[in-house]
Amino acid sequence: MIDDDFHQDVASTLTLDIRNLHTHFDTRAGTLRAVDGVNLRIKRGEIVGLVGESGSGKSVTGFSVIGLVDPPGRIVGGEVRFQGRNLVGLEEEALRQLRGHDIAMIFQDPMMTLNPVLRISTQMVEAITAHEIVAEDEALERAHDALASVGIPHPEERLRDYPHQFSGGMRQRVAIAIALLHNPALIIADEPTTALDVTIQGQILAVVQRLVAERGTSLLWITHDLSVVAGLAHRVAVMYAGRIVEEGPVDEVLDHPMHPYTAGLIASLPSHNRRGTRLAQIPGMAPPAHDRPTGCSFRPRCARATAECEQDPPATTPAQGRSLRCFNPMPAGSQGGRA
């Protein structure tokens, strides 16, 4: 049973293995296929950047992993294998025990993620006691240490404060401290630095990078900002219209994008353009989730589209460790050229 052993081995190093995930929203306008067949693997201790425009389904993918997709949304197909165990269809109570304990989440807007009427201590202690039977003062002690570890000065005083007494960056540190309370195997970070100033963004990235490396935590970093991914992630997955169109090691994908959409994204970065020239841009906008073109969803915006693109492009492996869904990839050696 060599094959089985091989799979066992792969599974044991994989923290997260998303297989052909479909999450749909049934609305009056029709079924929105927010996540439409996503495959994604995250190894232990690995940082994966999930990049895409608004509405590409990247956040819904994150919420699908921990079963927090609210109705009318629901997972209609696929598997979310976490440490070898499929979470799709798991009972709510079983999912609850995983949330915060084994899989933690950090949200986009730190001004909104903490409950405004509860003290920080309350919000941290409840996160501990939801999973463990601990004495109140021991839980407080741990909350205190967690705040200190994310670089919040005077944690013993800050514990008694309310969220509105913290700045945005400090609140995001609190959220990170809460996420790390149980040493989860996986953290899903949904654009956690988007709402912050650039300097604060840098500090938060440094904190996360350090803590994740110290503890061997896997990290799924959802963002629309390629430059953040470039400095943080090991691998990057580019999402478009509910699918991952390109995936691979971050340096390779950024240096040699194969999908015209990835190439367009990179070319759109202001730092990639020479001063005085017009900014490169991808024409048009992402199709709405209830009205996507057949075949490749990027087809209407793509300069390289051919008649073949009216068919669904299959996932291919153009190089070791990379995957791609495109019939007409960018020519080798192109550096984020125009799509």
Cα gap 13→42, rounded to integer Å:
9
Nearest 5°: CA angle at 103, between 120 and 61? 110
Site membership for another protein, residue 250 (CB under 8 A) = no
Cα gap 14→33, rounded to integer Å:
27
Site residues for another protein, window 106-145 (CB under 8 A)?
107-109, 112-119, 123, 126-127, 130-131
Let me know how long the chain is. Answer: 339
CB 157 to another protein: min, Å: 14
CB 96 to another protein: min, Å: 5
**Which of 104, 112, 107, 158 is closest to 131 using CA atoms?**
104
Near another protein by CB under 8 A: residue from 35, 40, 48, 98: 98
The backbone torsions φ and ψ at residue 35, rounded to the nearest 5 degrees and listed phi first, read -120, 125
Whichever of 130 and 205 has its CB closer to another protein, that residue is 130
Q: Positive or negative, the Cα torsion across 86, 90, 95, 98?
A: negative
Cα gap 286→29, rounded to integer Å:
17
**Which of 228, 221, 128, 114 is closest to 167 using CA atoms?**
114
* Binding-site size, another protein (CB under 8 A): 33
Whichever of 61 and 262 has its CB closer to another protein, that residue is 61
Whichever of 112 and 303 has its CB closer to another protein, that residue is 112
Whichever of 105 and 220 has its CB closer to another protein, that residue is 105
x-marked contacts with another protein along 165-204 as a string, rule CB under 8 A? x---------x--x--------------------------
Whichever of 101 and 243 has its CB closer to another protein, that residue is 101
- Angstrom CA distances, 85 to 82, 94, 215, stand at 5, 12, 22
The backbone torsions φ and ψ at residue 319, rounded to the nearest 5 degrees and listed phi first, read -155, 170
Whichever of 188 and 239 has its CB closer to another protein, that residue is 188
Site residues for another protein, window 58-97 (CB under 8 A)?
66, 68, 70, 92, 96-97
- The region of 2-10, 74-82, 103-111, 329-337 touching another protein under the rule CB under 8 A is 103-111
**Which of 176, 164, 165 is closest to 200 using CA atoms?**
176
Q: How many CB atoms lie within 10 A of CB 329?
A: 21
Near another protein by CB under 8 A: residue from 58, 81, 101, 301: 101
The two tokens of residue 286 are 């992402």
3-state secondary structure of 294: coil
Whichever of 175 and 219 has its CB closer to another protein, that residue is 175
CB 323 to another protein: min, Å: 29
Near another protein by CB under 8 A: residue from 16, 75, 104, 289: 104
Question: Contact residues for another protein (CB under 8 A)?
Answer: 66, 68, 70, 92, 96-101, 104-105, 107-109, 112-119, 123, 126-127, 130-131, 162, 164-165, 175, 178
